[in-house]
Amino acid sequence: MKNVPFKGIIAYPITPFDQDEKVNIPLFKKLVERLVASGSHGIAPLGSTGVLPYLSDEEKEAITEATIQQVNKRIPTLVGVSNLTTEKTVYHAKFAENAGADAVMIIPMSYWKLTDDEIVTHYDTVASKISIPIMAYNNPATGGVDMSPTLLKRLLEIPNVTMIKESTGDVQRMHYLRKELGEDVAFYNGSNPLALAAFTAGAKGWCTAAPNLIPELNISLYKAIENNQLKEAQDIFYKQVELLKFIVAKGLPRTVKAGLNILGEDGGNLRSPLKPLQQCDIEELETIINHLKN
C-alpha cells in the first residue's frame, strides 16, 4: 500500500530573516510552534512560502533540522528539496531523509523547459536515492513547467512518488486526477482560492500558508467537509476567501509577514530583492483581518 502521510491542513511556514538578511532560526522555530499548536495536520518548510530558492545550502539544512526538532514527531513533516539540477535535488532529498523528514516535496524547477522524459528521469533519480515518499508538485506559475495529467500519471508509477500537489488553479485538473488515476491517488490542493472546490472534488489535503494567519478557519473548513456539511463548508469558505485571494495576489512571504505583524506577532524581515508589503496593501490586509474577527 502506498505511503501517504498527509491529509487535512498542511501548513507552510515562512522563513524569517534578521536585520542583516540572515535566516533567523529561533524566530523560525517560534513560527513553526504556532502552526503546530494551532492544530495543523502537517508542516511543510522550504516551500515557496519559505522562499526556498533564495536560500543557500547551509540555510536549507538549518531550516530542515530546526523544523524536525521543533515539531518533534507531533505531526508529519514535508520538506521542500527542489533544485534546478538533479544532483542538488538528490543531495537535499537525502539530507531531509537523514534529518528525519516524513516526506519531501519536489517541483521540477525549470529554466530551460524540460521534456517529459527529462522530468521523469529527474524524479526517478531522486526517488531511487531515498526511501521516504515524494509529493510531486505542479505549479507552472513558480516552477516554469506545467506537468500534464499524463506526465503526472507517469510519475506516479515511480514507487515512492505517492502524492500530487496541484496548484494550477484549475479545478478540472483535479477532476482528471481523480477520474483517471482512481480514488486511491492522493492529490492535494495548492491553490488557496480553490480550497472549497478542491475538497469538493476529493482533495485529500490543502497545502497552504494561511494557517500562519487564520488556522481556525482553515481547519474548520476541512472538518465541515469531513462531516459532509456542505452548506456549513460554503459559509466557512466565504468567510476566508477574501484573505486567501489577497495573500496569493500580493505574494505569500510578504503578506504572511505583514499579517503576523497585524496580529501582534514578529514575522522577521524579508531577503532582497523582496520588500515588505506596501503601506496601502498593509491597510487592506488589516481591514480583511479585522473583518474576520467579527
Asked if 21 touches a copy of itself (CB under 8 A), the answer is yes
Q: Does 194 bind a copy of itself (CB under 8 A)?
A: yes
Could you say whether residue 253 binds a copy of itself (CB under 8 A)?
yes
Q: Which stretch binds a copy of itself (CB under 8 A): 38-46, 258-266, 267-275, 285-293?
A: 267-275
* SS3 assignment for the chain: CCCCCCCEEEECCCCCECCCCCECHHHHHHHHHHHHHCCCCEECCCCCCCCHHHCCHHHHHHHHHHHHHHHCCCCCEEEECCCCCHHHHHHHHHHHHHHCCCEEEECCCCCCCCCHHHHHHHHHHHHHHCCCCEEEEECHHHHCCCCCHHHHHHHCCCCCEEEEEECCCCHHHHHHHHHHHCCCCEEEECCHHHHHHHHHCCCCEEEECHHHCCHHHHHHHHHHHHCCCHHHHHHHHHHHHHHHHHHHHHCHHHHHHHHHHHCCCCCCECCCCCCCCCHHHHHHHHHHHHHHHC
Segment interacting with a copy of itself (CB under 8 A) among 6-14, 71-79, 206-214, 224-232? 224-232
Q: Is 113 in the site for a copy of itself (CB under 8 A)?
A: yes
230 is an interface residue for a copy of itself by CB under 8 A:
yes
List 108, 133, 190, 211, residue binding a copy of itself (CB under 8 A): 108
Q: In terms of CB distance, is 73 or 111 closer to a copy of itself? A: 111
Contacting residues toward a copy of itself, per CB under 8 A: 21, 48, 51, 53-54, 84-87, 108, 111-115, 117-119, 121-122, 125, 142, 144, 169, 171-172, 175, 178-179, 193-194, 196-197, 200-202, 225, 228-231, 233-234, 238, 241-242, 245, 251-254, 271-275, 278
